[in-house]
Amino acid sequence: MYPRWLWSGFSLPGVVWLILLFLVPFYAVIGVAFGSVDPLLQTPVPAWNPATWNTGWITQVLQEMAPGGVYWDPVRRTIYYVAISLGLCLLIGYPVAYYIARHAGRTKTLLLVLLIIPFWISYLMRMLAWVNLLEPTGYATRFLDFTGVSDLAVRSGLLLNPQSWLGGASITVVLALVYGYIPYLILPLYAALDRIDRSHLEAARDLGASPFRTFLHVTLPLSKTGILGGCVLIALPMFGDYYTPDVISGAPSTTMIGNQIDLYFHGGPQPTKGAAITVVLSLFLLIVMGYYMWTIHRATREASRA
């Protein structure tokens, strides 16, 4: 027979990876946030021992991120952008995942491959490509002009003029976030939808439920973990994103909280402040993550009862 430790030993590389490449660096960020700055070289002096932590930076950052503080606008903007982007990603991504899982038939493999294609190119390169496409004479701008989308955006007050997609518009940043992150949502959604036992759907139909009611009362609840998983998967990086608004907009009116972190980590005497913003943001995301974990736990418990 196999030794008892064999199977759990398979998790060792993952655990080591997690400790070395996540926990240790993250504790370093915490150490920096609660530490000080070398007066000569202006490099962070981390406080490794919690007993010596200087809470001044965290306190200051918390005040500045609160309503009325310097960072309130970027915080508010980040939450809006992420919320709207998540909504759009779900609106677009769910039907796609649903179609592939339920109706794609023989083309399922092909569609899945097509979904994975964006991963072949780095996120940044895809964003940079949009800079060319959305220039005043770019192909995308011309197409949006031709189809009347630009006019609609201008009339709605989302755009200054039909050629100003790169002129620091929030709509461009949101659409770029949607474009950049949507594949990461569709894949877990597809996996969740594909796992749904068809006998449940058939049972609902046999009991007289219309297709819409079947979807509403069977498919949607059963795909909830997939929806939450996909949302968490894309919301976490979106909250820390700084290069999308940097590349696509560049306007202070569209900066996200990640841009402030970027500013403080790129030189100057306050890397501790950058680390403090990172820690506060992480705490906020921990709450989001906690809700997800709790939902998953509850769903698993209910499934095992059933």
How does DSSP classify residue 118?
Answer: G
Q: Write out the H or E segment, with its range, that includes residue 36.
A: strand 36-37
Contact (Cβ atoms closer than 8 angstroms) between residue 282 and residue 240: no
Q: How far apart are the C-alpha atoms of 175 and 182, rounded to whole Å?
A: 10
* Binding of another protein by 290 (CB under 8 A): no
* Binding of another protein by 242 (CB under 8 A): yes
Contact (Cβ atoms closer than 8 angstroms) between residue 235 and residue 88: no
From the CB of 252, what's the least distance to another protein, in Å?
Answer: 4
* Binding of another protein by 172 (CB under 8 A): no
Three-state SS at 269: coil
Residue nearer to another protein on the CB measure, 222 or 277: 277
Amino acid found at 101? A
In terms of DSSP H, where are the helices of 67-169? 72-102, 108-116, 123-133, 139-146, 149-155
* Binding of another protein by 180 (CB under 8 A): no
Contact with another protein (CB under 8 A) among 77, 153, 232, 234: 77
* Binding of another protein by 70 (CB under 8 A): yes
Site string for another protein, 88-127 (x = CB under 8 A): ----------------------------------x-xx--
Contact with another protein (CB under 8 A) among 34, 44, 57, 218: 44
Contact with another protein (CB under 8 A) among 255, 279, 280, 292: 255
Site string for another protein, 20-39 (x = CB under 8 A): -x--xxx-xx-xx----xxx
How does DSSP classify residue 168?
Answer: S
- Residue with structure tokens 């906020």? 284
* Binding of another protein by 59 (CB under 8 A): no
Contact (Cβ atoms closer than 8 angstroms) between residue 173 and residue 249: yes
Number of C-beta neighbours around residue 8 at 10 A: 9
Phi then psi for 111, rounded to 5 degrees? -65, -35
Contact (Cβ atoms closer than 8 angstroms) between residue 272 and residue 36: yes
Contact with another protein (CB under 8 A) among 194, 243, 284, 295: 243
Q: How many residues bind another protein (CB under 8 A)?
A: 65
CA distance from start to end of the chain: 33
* Binding of another protein by 43 (CB under 8 A): yes
From the CB of 273, what's the least distance to another protein, in Å?
Answer: 8
Residue nearer to another protein on the CB measure, 25 or 290: 25
Interacting residues toward another protein by CB under 8 A: 21, 24-26, 28-29, 31-32, 37-46, 70-71, 73-74, 77, 122, 124-125, 128, 135-136, 160-161, 164, 166-169, 240, 242-243, 246-247, 249-255, 258-271, 274-275, 278
